[in-house]
Amino acid sequence: MRRVLRLGLLVVAGYALACGPTDTTTRLTFSGSALGPEGAVIRQQLARFAEHRPGVRVELQVTPDSADQRHQLYVQWLNAHAPAPDVLQLDVIWMSEFAAAGWILPLDAFAPGVDDFLPAALAAARWKGALYAMPWFVDVGLLYWRTDLLDRAPRSLAELREMALRLRETDATRFGLVWPGARYEGLVTVFLEHLAAFGAGILDARGRVIVDDPAAIRALAFMVNALNVDRIVPSSALTWQEEQVRFAFQNGEAGFMRNWPYAWTLLQDESRSRVARRFAVAPFPAGEGGRPAAALGGAQLAINAWSAHPTLAFELVAFLTAPEQMVERGRLAAQLPPRRSLYENPELAAALPIPLDQVRQVLEAAVPRPATPVYSEMSEILQVRIHRALTGQQPPAAALQEAAREMRALLMRAGLSAEGPT
């Protein structure tokens, strides 16, 4: 026993010796997507950041690429007040949760320049008026449409429905429209676009649940009709996520597809895609009393509230969100920057695969998901209820009334009274 103890002490001493010299350098850790082109860009940029700062070492802390798993890990770390990682890549829908929990630092003290950022992206980085994260890249829901079958993108929801019906009835395509309808977060983004198209929403500006309003019920009824009455959306779409939706569109089976920017490059690959160079993108069109919409996704950078080096961490955040780094990210990882000025920049136009004029049009229609600390649970309630309505287990009105009741109960339990944030 004593020998084991002595051996242990030796190991510890050796470790301390080995680490001794490096303790004078400041270690900053960054956690985010580290796979494929995204990983290559971030490694390159972290190294460049450290280059001009002697005594600073930046480490990439690898986390799971699946959003749910990364979220779970972050929650466990931050709940335990772990000082690392200093800088975190957050999915836009996590920010309010982390800010409300006090796990990330408000950034206003660092006086970041935010005038250039897209308003929707910036709104998604604020909680109770304070800025808690810097928008890093944006993802937007796109309506892909076939340029070989249609003259132009639909200008209204009614037009989209007519076009899709015509395509399916004339057998030009097997399905009119395809969207991801499986019970997961992607379904909520599709629903969000339908809500905006009908002038409805999930929460109002004061944080009250409005998803059972008549306009919201009309939006869900439109989705149900598209499936069961017009049959422009195949019922199998209720088991599809982005990739299955892309396969259907890529094989020429659909006239319209709701998907994200990542699909663009894959659809242009002529060796696999039957629709290469025969499609364009537009925002999801407006219905009665609504507006064109594109669900906003993407990532932000935030600083761990228990970071030992908040100032240095903010320097890293500012560096990563600077225009040069964003253009490079656009070129290497095809991710859209949240800075408006860059969309006038010919360098970005050359770097991005999607034509800038089409992207700009969609970005103007960007709709953020509700900013609430209980977003994930709220989304899960919606996923279940919407899916029930779409699979005919519940009428749209009843489904949304139930969803609203559950969401109000959730806000009550969380101490976020339904009469607005406390």
Q: Which residues would be at the binding site for other proteins (CB under 8 A)? A: 68, 72, 75-76, 79, 97, 100-102, 182-183, 234-236, 238-239, 373-374, 376-377, 380, 384-385, 387-388, 390-391, 393-394, 414-415
The residue (of 168 and 339) whose beta carbon lies closer to other proteins is: 168
| Whole-angstrom distance, CA of residue 299 vs CA of residue 297 | 7
Q: Largest Cα–Cα distance of the chain, in whole Å?
A: 85
The residue (of 177 and 316) whose beta carbon lies closer to other proteins is: 177
Give the nearest distance from C-beta 105 to other proteins in angstroms.
16
Give the nearest distance from C-beta 274 to other proteins in angstroms.
16
The residue (of 30 and 240) whose beta carbon lies closer to other proteins is: 240
* Cβ atoms of residues 116 and 336 within 8 Å: no
Give the nearest distance from C-beta 96 to other proteins in angstroms.
11
The residue (of 76 and 265) whose beta carbon lies closer to other proteins is: 76
Helix (H, G, I), strand (E, B) or coil at 296: strand
* CB-based burial label for 332 (10 Å; 0-12, 13-18, 19+): middle
Pairing outcome for strands 87-91 and 26-32: parallel
Give the nearest distance from C-beta 202 to other proteins in angstroms.
18
| Whole-angstrom distance, CA of residue 403 vs CA of residue 397 | 10
The crossing angle, in degrees rounded to 10, of helices 185-197 and 375-390 is 80
The residue (of 146 and 385) whose beta carbon lies closer to other proteins is: 385
Give the nearest distance from C-beta 209 to other proteins in angstroms.
18
The runs of H, that is alpha helices, within 251-345 are 262-267, 310-320, 323-333
Find the angle CA(132)-CA(80)-CA(105) to the nearest 5 degrees.
Answer: 15
CA proximity to 339, closest of 44, 113, 94, 42: 113
CA proximity to 67, closest of 298, 306, 326, 364: 298
The residue (of 258 and 388) whose beta carbon lies closer to other proteins is: 388
The residue (of 100 and 124) whose beta carbon lies closer to other proteins is: 100
The residue (of 76 and 341) whose beta carbon lies closer to other proteins is: 76
The residue (of 169 and 324) whose beta carbon lies closer to other proteins is: 169
The residue (of 255 and 337) whose beta carbon lies closer to other proteins is: 255
The residue (of 308 and 409) whose beta carbon lies closer to other proteins is: 409
Give the nearest distance from C-beta 296 to other proteins in angstroms.
22
Count of other CB atoms within 10 angstroms of residue 73: 13
CA distances from 384 to 223, 379, 391 (A): 15, 9, 11
- Is the preceding omega at residue 337 within 30 degrees of 0, hence cis? no
* Cβ atoms of residues 37 and 332 within 8 Å: yes
Give the nearest distance from C-beta 157 to other proteins in angstroms.
24
Helix (H, G, I), strand (E, B) or coil at 252: coil
By residue count, the chain amounts to 422
Give the nearest distance from C-beta 415 to other proteins in angstroms.
6
Give the nearest distance from C-beta 73 to other proteins in angstroms.
11
Give the nearest distance from C-beta 257 to other proteins in angstroms.
17
CA distances from 139 to 9, 92, 255, 259 (A): 51, 10, 22, 10
Which tokens hold the place of 262? 């990542």
| Whole-angstrom distance, CA of residue 333 vs CA of residue 152 | 29
Give the nearest distance from C-beta 164 to other proteins in angstroms.
16
